[in-house]
Structure 1
Amino acid sequence: MASLKDIKTRISSVRSTRQITSAMKMVASAKLHKAQGAIENMLPYQTKLNAILTNFLRTDSTIDSPYIAVRPVNKVAIVVFSSSTSLCGAFNANVAKHFVQVLEDYKHLDQKNILIYPIGKKIEENIKKMGYEVQGSFQHLADKPSYKESSELGERLMDLFASKEVDRVELIYHHFKSTASQTLVRENFLPLDLTVDQVDKKIKGKNIDYIVEPSAADFIANLLPKVITLKMYTALLDSNASEHAARTMAMQIATDNANELIQDLTKQYNKSRQQSITNELLDIIGGSMR
């Protein structure tokens, strides 16, 4: 049985850990509030814009764009979003696990025909351990989402797709629903999906007669690249908000567990102390009766 001193030392140690986890939870919660505001402001705009554009492309068969071309997949690019730091529960482990599942779908391709763009230190390290070569380092984007840099990455992937160097581009990231819920998403970035099932059910099946000036071709040429790059930035914000939410929950759970452990140790300490006093009293009583 542990001595009173050992139990007291452990209680002190757990209390120190609780202070750390509690502070980390407060920091993560503050970052989450900012990240949640960013994604909640961006997502409705991006969703509606994508819905309008998708419906426009579906209703006009004369529109031609290199970004809607569906080809047999001989070469694929995968953008994977994770965090650059730990202590966020199973956030990064789930991303890595899902990434392995996606690779299974492309096991018929040579490794050189799978281009991987990791966003976040954790997934980048994981991919390198698996023996894959990464197409650049984007660790800083996981901590500080940047529209400029995410747009440059989006444009880079668009150029690869338009020049037929890759036949498909996929995104793997967490979609933020609430502080307690984040869903892993596997989404086609290119070619554009011309179904609106996931985008906006209100306009599904409707053939809206758009009036476009100066011409539909100019409209597509100017707007389509912006919509696609915006999609990359939205995924980045989504992943960032999900990371902070996961860390907030993980630190809350850790703090709650520390509180429970302190209560159990305190009970154990009081019980051991009571037992020690009882034994001493028994020794005194037994000695006086001799």
Structure 2
Amino acid sequence: MATLRDIKQRIKGVKSTQQITKAMKMVAAAKLRRATEAILNARPYARKIQTLLSHLASTDDLLNNPLFVSRDVKNVAVIVVTADRGLCGAFNTNIIREATRYIQEELQERNISHSLYCLGKKGSDYFSKRNFNLVQKNPGIFASLNYSIAQRLSDQLISGFLNGEFDKVILIFNEFKSIIQQKIVVEQFLPIPVESNEKSEIHAEANYIYEPNQKAIFEYIIPKHLKAQLWRVLLESNAAEFAARMTAMDNATTNAKELIRTLNLKYNKERQAAITKEILEIVSGANALKAS
């Protein structure tokens, strides 16, 4: 049975934990504001450059450009984006579970090889200890997230795809929806997907005059499009991580408050019982002396 001193020490420990979780919530909230601004600024550019690419893409370009042509899939590059740190609820667990499911059910059951690229420390730590073909680890990238990371990885993936190292590139990441909601997305990166309905609607619009020419602009925009999409994915995951951490720390602070209330109630009951016991012992002793 816990003594009054033990209960008091535990209350003190929970209060210290509550202060930490409250501080972490405030830090996550401040970082979330900046991350949200970054993703809201990046989304229009990513959408516009994708629309422009569809504008410029002719049927011949799509058939002749190797970055658009689908081929028999024998090896798939899977890019898994997790966080560098924990204490953000089920953020990392859900991504790792979805990536594992995709590799096992969508690839291994169909005898398709995979090359795994992990962005973020949590995914790198998990997959490096298990039977997965982990090609590259990128821990610590979110500590100083910048556009050069997307540029370098995009160039690497394009080179691997063109050289035949893999036939498809899949991105698995958390998309930021709101503070309390993050959506797991499995998205094809290469070959570049083009929606035929959107394309036909765009080509139905007014004609444009291109300088120097349509094909040159089209080929110039392709790598920019891929870098912009990968940069958007990193920003989405970064904002979703801060939102998940803020929610998790808010829940932890609320739970700590409830635990402190319960412990205080228990402490008061134990102290009241101890006082009552001492009074009974004193009265019993006095009665014994009086009887003697």
Same fold, judged at TM 0.5 (above): yes
2: CA distance between counterparts of 1:68 and 1:226? 15
- Structure 1 Cα separation of the partners of residues 214 and 96 of structure 2: 41
> Percent identity at matched positions?
36
The reply on whether 1:107 has 2:108 as its aligned counterpart is yes
Cα separation, 1, equivalents of 2:282 and 2:201 = 91
C-alpha change, 1:289 and 1:196, in structure 2 (3 Å) is farther
Task: Give the superposition deviation at 1:275.
Answer: 1.9
Query: Which sits farther off after the overlay, 131-140 or 117-126?
Result: 131-140
Deviation (angstroms), 1:48: 2.7
1:67 matched residue in structure 2: 67
- Partner amino acid for 1:107? Q
Preserved CA contact (<8 Å) 2:95 2:184: yes
CA contact under 8 A between 2:56 and 2:214: conserved in structure 1? no
Letter in 2 for 1:208: E
How far apart, in 1, do the equivalents of 2:118 and 2:242 lie? 18
Which structure is larger by alpha-carbon Rg, 1 or 2? 2
Partner of 1:17: 17
Partner of 2:158: 158
Q: Output the CA distance in 1 between the equivalents of 2:132 and 2:269.
A: 56
What's the counterpart of residue 208 of structure 1? 205
Is residue 150–residue 233 contact of structure 1 (8 Å, CA) maintained in 2?
yes
Shift of 1:196: 7.1
Matched residues in 2 for 1:125 and 1:86: separation? 12
Contact residue 83 and residue 122 of structure 2 kept, 8 A: yes
Aligned-partner Cα distance in 1 for 2:153–2:111: 23
How do 1:67-106 and structure 2 match up within 5 A? 67-103=67-103, 104-106=105-107
* Letter of the 2:70 counterpart: V
1:189 aligned to 2:189? Answer: yes
Q: In 1, are the aligned partners of 2:28 and 2:242 still within 8 Å (CA)?
A: yes
Q: C-alpha separation between the residues in 2 aligned to 1:210 and 1:169? A: 33
Tell me if structure 1 keeps the 8 A contact 2:114–2:133: no
SS at match of 1:137: strand
- SS in structure 2 of the partner of residue 68 of structure 1: coil
> TM-score, normalising length from structure 1?
0.90
Displacement, 1:109? 6.3
**Match in the other structure for 2:233:** 235
Partner of 1:281, secondary structure, is helix
Shift >6 Å, 4+ stretches: none
In 2, are the aligned partners of 1:74 and 1:109 still within 8 Å (CA)? no
Secondary structure of 1:185's aligned partner: strand
Match among 264, 267, 278 for residue 269 of structure 1: 267
Contact 2:95–2:172 at 8 Å: present in 1 too?
Answer: yes
In the TM superposition, 1:171-186 aligns within 5 A as 171-186=171-186
Deviations 1:92-128 (A, max 9, x none): 11111001111021115668x3111110111111111
List alignment gaps of at least 5 residues for structure 1: none
Once the two structures are TM-superposed, the CA of residue 217 in structure 1 deviates from its matched residue by: 0.8
Judged with a 3 Å threshold, the aligned counterparts in structure 2 of structure 1 residues 76 and 250 are, in CA distance, closer, same or farther, namely same
Q: What does the per-residue CA deviation read over 1:72-110, in whole Å, with 9 as the maximum and x for residues that have no partner?
A: 211111111001111111111111100111102111566
**Residue in 1 aligned with 2:2?**
2
2:54 matched to which residue of 1?
54
* Number of the residue aligned with 1:143: 143
Counterpart Cα distance in 2 of 1:213 and 1:225: 19
Which letter does structure 2 place at the counterpart of 1:124? Answer: S
C-alpha contact 1:78 1:172 (8 A) present in aligned 2: yes
SS in 1 for 2:185: strand
8 Å CA contact 1:55–1:194 kept in 2: the answer is no
